[in-house]
Amino acid sequence: MTFVRPGVLCAALAAAFPAVASAATDADLKQLREQLRELRQSYEQRIQALEQRLAETEKQASQAAASAAEAGTTASAAARSVVQVESRATEVQAAVDSVARRPAGEGAFNPAVSLILDSKFTRLQRDPASYRIDGFMPSGGEIGPSRKGFSLGESELAFSANVDHLFRGNARFSLAEDNGQGTVEVEEVNVETLAMPSGFKLKAGRFLSGVGYLNQQHPHEWDFTDAPLAYKAFFGPRLQNDGLQLRWVAPTELFMEFGAEVASGERFPGAERKANGAGLWTAFAHVGGDIGESSAWRVGLSHVHSNPRERSFEDNGVNNAFSGRSQTWIADFIYKWAPNGNSSVTNLKLQGEYFQRRETGELTYDTDGAAALSAARFRPSGAYLQAVYQFMPQWRVGVRGDWLRSGTTDLGTLSAGDLPILAGYDPRRQSAMVDWSPSEFSRLRLQVARDQSRNGETDNQVWLQYIMSLGAHGAHTF
Amino acid sequence: MFSKAILRLAVVLMAIAAMPASAALNVFATVPEWAALAREIGGDKLNVFSATNALQDPHRIEAKPSLIARARSAQLVIATGADLEVGWLPVVLREAGNAAIQPGQPGYLEAASTVRLLEVPARLDRADGDVHPGGNPHIQTDPRNLLKVADALTARLTQLDPANAAAYKAGLARFSERWKAALVRWEQAAAPLRGVPVWVQHRSFPYLADWLGLKELGALEPKPGVEPSSAHLAGILERQKATPARLILRPAYSRPTASEWLGERAHLPVVVLPFTVGGDAEAGDLFALFDDTIRRLLAGLK
């Protein structure tokens, strides 16, 4: 057992070292490394000797059948000793390494920080300030294209870390400039549980709702420069909740996830409210799995319910408001294919979502003046379908079609001429893009689109965009 | 009415949740080699699932729904670690809502933590490509590492499932015995490979080179995870004239273009190694993996 001694010595060394770590100078470290090198050399010699002994023992074993059993035991004992010595050397090495590399003080617990840089060059035929989706009640969100020429997109700054053994905290801010004024938007600030039993997960704070497929993805994860028209029209351009989310994953081989959210519902399709309790509820279910080695899929069905009061919107310079009940259904699917599941060379991604909304209630025309009131009903729908194909490493092409239908609109006693934006119209858009990603942290994209969101006006759009990701970049969801 | 529907749904879901799970311990292995190792040790006491196959680039896996579903009911996750799975495993673990398999819990084991890692980078900069801060994660190409991982895995299985401790101990003893005998056989057979200079497609084989004494002259990838450019390959062709290598090694999952280009011009055999269990038709289990690896290397040398 003579070979154990250096191990003990090293362990003592490693144990003693933290005590002097604060005072450790380069000379100390150098000395330690020197000692370690000597130790390792002596180990290697011993290991070689043991290996030789092992080989000899085994040779003897094969020569003499009678002593085979005995020699075998010795051989395996010797081999075990070799493994022991090696593992002890590894432990000592690891201990010394960790002492040498351990980040000092409070910085050691810094959360993971990531920064997304996004910038665009835009060419538009129409003025983006006049952007609207005809046939749909305006959401009040930022849905228009970025301004003409060079523009800085939203830079995302995200922090995340485990808070303790029960909670994980996430924060994501978007930094942008609006008419020369710097703006900071709180995209997400939430806490999620890490240790709820039986597959449950609870999230509280501000989060992107789990409804649909694209809603939860951040703009830098999108395959196109802008959101689908349906998201712009129905959620302006996404459903962001302040509230609670409960999710549950079923313990089955088929992926089944169910979730429900309660939220303040202060944003479209909800409206500002002054009451206690919640203003928006959602429920969603996702099912997914594989088809062979090469394909993976997921489908989902989601429901969003809210009761907006005095949800105001401007149309042709006049302020109007809607109060009533708003219900939205979303059906979504995503299908990914890659040969043998190896997506590094070629892969295909097909995705689509269908939206339907029913709103019934009262519409007030000109809230600041005439305040004409009438019962009203709306039944808009919309969908998008997109395909993105990586035809060689780093290069992808994609096409997307957007279709919206204003559907049956019943304005009751109000005059349709007073509310031109609600006049029946089916907006459409076709987009195509090609992007190049030299690594998983950078992407350059060229996108063209023919946008017919405005009745009778076609806007041909071109974007050149880069998206760069700095720092800790968390894994992406499916 | 709406809240009543949610309530009803919740009741149904609770009923599903209460259904009994199967008796065998569910093991979720991120890569095929750890799945194969778990099968060697645990046999029928384990229900082993491999999240990936050998033809997938282990650096580019997505957090597919099927993986989340499997992680949900796993009692043990065995991952390589050293950031190999950083692009997908954290999402799978978080989305699965399974507290038992989170890092730091007994249900989470990283194989790389049991062995000494090679190629630990001296500086961390993404300009150097897809570098792994902890060191090169492709530890399974040195069979000596598997003994250490087997020890750690057995200890963990025993901790999680003490009722079957004896079976795991016997499984480990059986495996170690056979593995050590095989090691002697492989090392004898691979003697001609000692000192042989090679090019590698990606830095996939430092542990194999360390074990067999192969001399890695360099990688066809200019930086880890970056596709070789023609200029870089031309540079390698020049270097090949000055310091000739005898083989080009590439793992089964990688794209053949670059290695074939160089092989053709430098008249070098390209050896496609299975890299992990299932990488080719012959590499059906861990023993066959190394039998086949050495057979292919020797065949390339002829």
pLDDT over threshold 50, residue B106: yes
Nearest by CB to residue A475, choosing from B65, B66, B91, is B91
The rounded percent of chain A whose pLDDT value lies above 70 is 83
Pick from A91-95, A320-324, B166-170: least confident: A91-95
CA–CA distance, A140 with A432 (Å, rounded to integer)? 27
**Residue A457's beta-bridge partner residues?**
A454
A439 with B86: Cβ contact below 8 A: no
Q: Which residues of B touch A289 (CB under 8 A)?
A: 65-66, 69
**pTM for this prediction:** 0.83
Query: Are B78 and A310 contacting, i.e. CB atoms less than 8 angstroms apart?
Result: no
> How large is the average pLDDT for residues A367-390?
95
Q: Which residues of A touch B184 (CB under 8 A)?
A: 55, 58
| Type and span of the H or E element at B8 | helix B2-17
Question: pLDDT tens, A10-60?
Answer: 444 444 444 444 444 666 777 777 777 777 777 777 777 777 777 776 666
pLDDT over threshold 90, residue B16: no
> How large is the average pLDDT for residues A173-202?
91
Q: Which fold has domain A116-471?
A: Porin (2.40.160)
Top residue of A53, A164, A249 to mutate, by most chain B CBs within 10 Å, is A249
B9 with A283: Cβ contact below 8 A: yes
Pick from A31-40, A200-209, B186-195, B275-284: least confident: A31-40
Q: What is the pLDDT of residue A35?
A: 77
At which residue do the structure tokens 């997506």 appear? A343
CATH superfamily of B16-185: Nitrogenase molybdenum iron protein domain (3.40.50.1980)
pLDDT over threshold 60, residue B15: no
CATH superfamily of B190-301: Nitrogenase molybdenum iron protein domain (3.40.50.1980)
Pick from A249-263, A331-345, A386-400, B121-135: least confident: B121-135
Helices (H) and strands (E) in chain B, counts: 10, 8
Name which of A140, A141, A203 is nearest A168 in CA terms. A203
> How large is the average pLDDT for residues A310-332?
94
Q: What is the pLDDT of residue A154?
A: 87
Look up the ipTM and state it: 0.89
pLDDT over threshold 70, residue A80: no
| SS3 state of residue B158 | helix
Beta-sheet pairing, A457-471 with A442-454: antiparallel
Name which of B223, B237, B117, B143 is nearest A441 in CA terms. B223
Nearest-CA distance from B232 to chain A in Å? 16
Q: What is the pLDDT of residue A462?
A: 97
> How large is the average pLDDT for residues A316-339?
95
- Residue at A282: amino acid letter: T
Any chain A CB within 8 A of the CB of B158?
Answer: no
CA–CA distance, A471 with A82 (Å, rounded to integer)? 41
CA–CA distance, A402 with A397 (Å, rounded to integer)? 17
Interface of A with B in 179-198 (CB under 8 A): 192, 194-198
The rounded percent of chain B whose pLDDT value lies above 90 is 82
The rounded percent of chain A whose pLDDT value lies above 90 is 66
pLDDT over threshold 90, residue A70: no
**pLDDT band at residue B9 using 50, 70 and 90 as cut-offs:** low
Nearest-CA distance from A189 to chain B in Å? 17
Query: What phi, psi does A389 have (nearest 5°)?
Result: -125, 125
CA–CA distance, B14 with B46 (Å, rounded to integer)? 27
Q: Determine the residue of chain A that is closest to B94 in CA distance.
A: A194
Q: What is the pLDDT of residue A400?
A: 98
Q: Where are the domains of chain B?
A: 16-185, 190-301
> How large is the average pLDDT for residues B43-48?
95
Q: What is the pLDDT of residue A178?
A: 79
Q: What is the pLDDT of residue B127?
A: 87
A340 with B225: Cβ contact below 8 A: no
CA–CA distance, A403 with A355 (Å, rounded to integer)? 10
Nearest by CB to residue B96, choosing from A249, A281, A394, is A249
- Residue at A281: amino acid letter: W
Name which of A199, A128, A47 is nearest B93 in CA terms. A199
pLDDT over threshold 80, residue B7: no
Residue B125 CB: number of other CB atoms within 10 A?
A: 8
Q: Where are the domains of chain A?
A: 2-102, 116-471
Q: What is the mean pLDDT of chain A?
A: 86
B87 with A440: Cβ contact below 8 A: yes
Query: What phi, psi does A326 have (nearest 5°)?
Result: -125, 125
